[in-house]
Amino acid sequence: VAEYPLYHGGTVRLQLAVDLVEMAEARRLLDLTADLVDIVEVGTPLIIREGVRAVTELKSAYPHNLVLADLKIMDAGGLEARIGFDAGADIVTVLGAAHEETLQGALASARASGGEIMVDLIAVPDPAARARDVDALGADYVCVHTAFDVQASGADPLLHLQHVGPVLRRSRLAVAGGIAPATARAVAAHRPDIVVVGGAIACSQDPARAAREIRSELRRAAAKE
């Protein structure tokens, strides 16, 4: 955490999920917000659309941010993670639903590249049990993630968060899925290392203001402790 003192005042880092599918739009959003976030996430739809050249372009345009490639790897962990790191990603995601061998392959690529792996627990039936496994395997981050497709049905990310955080020994905690200014403080109370925000910043009329609001909520949560 001390490595990126410019980007976070408290104990939590802010990751902006860029789920737009047009590079020009992504650049417009990040020109407004990159200095307000720690980690730029190149979202899965953008990678599907553009390939990892989107990672290379955004890392080059915003060299002071960490860049996460949301590859959601399910197989060929070694190969696919290497494609992400070779393109300039600092962090690559692997699905918690994948086989352990896939995570191990991705971790080996990360170690060889000086990068990190985030395991995304999206749609995993028992997130706390899986978190314990992937923590033991050496995942750098474990992400409690409420899928976009179930956010409308009122799924509560805090429910899993409170069970996953306590089982982690080595991995740091991340949380994603529909987080907005109104919910950021409650999320931050669970002491994640990374809070991922997408639409609440990207779809705001004033993305920089939305990012500042969330940062301020996260700081307040940190100050409370």
Applying CB under 8 A, which residues contact its own copies? 19, 21, 44-45, 47-54, 71-72, 74-77, 79-80, 83-84, 95, 97-99, 101-102, 105, 122-124, 147-150, 153
- DSSP characters over 62-120: -TTSEEEEEEEE-S-HHHHHHHHHHTT-SEEEEETTS-HHHHHHHHHHHHHHT-EEEEE
Alpha-carbon dihedral sign for residues 35, 198, 108, 56: negative
Between 49 and 111, name the residue whose CB sits nearer to its own copies: 49
Closer residue to its own copies in complex, CB, 84/207:
84
| Rounded-to-integer distance, Cα 23 and Cα 56, Å | 12
CB of 47 to its own copies, least distance (A): 6
User: What six digits make up the tokens of 16?
Assistant: 């902006």
Alpha-carbon span 215 to 15, nearest angstrom: 11
Q: DSSP strand E in 19-65: where?
A: 39-42
Q: Which CA distances in Å does 167 have to 47, 163, 218, 225?
A: 32, 7, 23, 20
Kindly tell me which of 61 and 123 has the beta carbon lying closer to its own copies. Answer: 123
Instruction: Give the H/E segment covering residue 208.
Output: helix 207-224
Nearest-approach distance from CB 106 to its own copies, in angstroms: 9
Minimal distance, residue 83 CB to its own copies, in Å: 5
37 versus 81: smaller Cβ distance to its own copies: 81
Query: Is 122 or 188 the residue whose CB approaches its own copies more closely?
Result: 122
What minimum distance in Å lies between the beta carbon of 225 and its own copies? Answer: 32
Q: How far is the CB of 71 from its own copies (least distance, A)?
A: 6
